[in-house]
Amino acid sequence: MKPTIQLNNWIVEKRRYLHKHPELSHLENKTKEYITNHLHDLGIDTYSITGKDVVGVIKGNHPGKSVAIRSDMDALPIEEETGLDFASVNKGVMHACGHDGHMSILLGIAKFLVTKKSSIHGTIHLLFQHAEEEVPGGAVEIVAANGLKGIEAIFGYHLWQPLETGFIGIRQGSVMAGADRFTIQIFGKGGHGSMPEDTIDSTLVISHIITQLHTIVSRSVKAIDQAVISIGQLNSGTSYNVIPDSAYASGTVRYFNRDTSSLIEKRIEEIVTGVCHSFGATYELNYIHGDPPVINDKKLTAFIKKTATSLFGEEKVIEIDPILGSEDFAYYSHEIPASFTFIGVGKEGNSFGHHHPKFDIDETMLPIGVELFTTGVLNFLKGGSNVEN
């Protein structure tokens, strides 16, 4: 079921339009309108779960299961530097993660499948989700609105720059990390840099805290449980000779096991409390639980792997390592069987990664995504999910 040259060109055209007109999370109004109009032009009925998303529905001529295929729609607050002919016209907003490609793939799937109703056993929901880049984002809102009711499985994908173009990345179980964040505000007693004995040095306090936070993974988390703690922001003081009253730090926690997240939260509280007590400082600590890990259903993912291997050859389908980046597709994977696949778009000569102002994708992989998921979903609905794991 390889897409035609005409369909390939159509997909690329859609990707370039969407790339040129990006919108930020929760503000994808024109994007939603553009997608809705194209779905209606194809004769596909639509509905919205939250008012921010759009879902196209293709009912087959045969009874069967209901499944969903998901794409995200939002862009990032980044000023584009690619120099592309179709670069963003919206200042300070860019599709720097591949969501423009994700949408064009799903539109291509829609255009392909709408002509194949006689081959469809069941119903396919084409879910264009808002706000993947924000926390809280679109997926948690869709789940909270009972948007998965009646859907028995969901497929997702990511155009992935770290993976060489032409390759498909698969992994069963935990494939992307959960992502939490925390903020620490230290309150000490400021004073002149020449008289530190009269102060409670908030900069010194937060320095001790940061040093000890980096012992949590190596000394509190089990060695077999992967986790990362990183400090991304540190602010203290405004003058070289003044010891400041307060200091601030924020960071991220990545993990694959929710028990690990709880352990790290507890240890951060203990360390901040202990250090502040030893110096006589006070603090405010906020720990925010973000998206949980993406858990790929074993059976569903084995089926996608088998499909990809049959289409592109065993040498093009690889098992990838767990990824410490996060994805709000995770919320779906904790509700129903789900599988999230990586489509390699790493182009030779372009090493700029996701969220970089010069990020770009290899458009030759867009029809590969269409072929993989049209074939896979059609076969899945026919009962082809009964594969060996």
- Alpha helix segments (H runs only) across the chain: 5-20, 29-41, 99-113, 138-144, 202-213, 216-219, 258-279, 298-312, 330-333, 366-379
Burial 122-152 (b: 16+ CB within 10 A, else e): bbbbbbbbbbbbebebbbbbbbeeebbeebb
Cα distance between residue 138 and residue 317, in whole Å: 30
- Considering 28, 74, 180, 363, which one is annotated as catalytic? 74
Residue type, 174: S
d(CA 233, CA 4): 49
Q: Of 23, 80, 132, 141, which residue is the catalytic one?
A: 132
Distances (CA, A) of 74 to 138, 290, 354, 356: 10, 18, 14, 15
Residue 169 CA to residue 181 CA, distance in Å, equals 28
Q: How far apart are CA 318 and CA 314, in angstroms?
A: 8
CA distance 314 to 293: 27
Cβ proximity of 322 and 171 under 8 Å: yes
249 neighbors 221 (Cβ within 8 angstroms): no
The C-alpha atoms of residue 55 and residue 125 are separated, in whole angstroms, by 6
Known catalytic residue: 132? yes
Pick the closest to residue 102 from 375, 389, 342 (CA basis): 342
The rounded distance, in Å, linking the Cα atoms of 262 and 253 is 11
Q: Is residue 121 packed enough to be buried (19+ CB in 10 Å), middle (13-18) or exposed (0-12)?
A: middle
Backbone angles phi, psi at 112, to 5 degrees: -75, -50
DSSP 319-350: EPPPBSS--TTHHHHTTS-EEEEEEEEE-TT-
- Dihedral pair phi/psi, residue 147, rounded to 5°: -70, -15
Active site residues: 74, 132
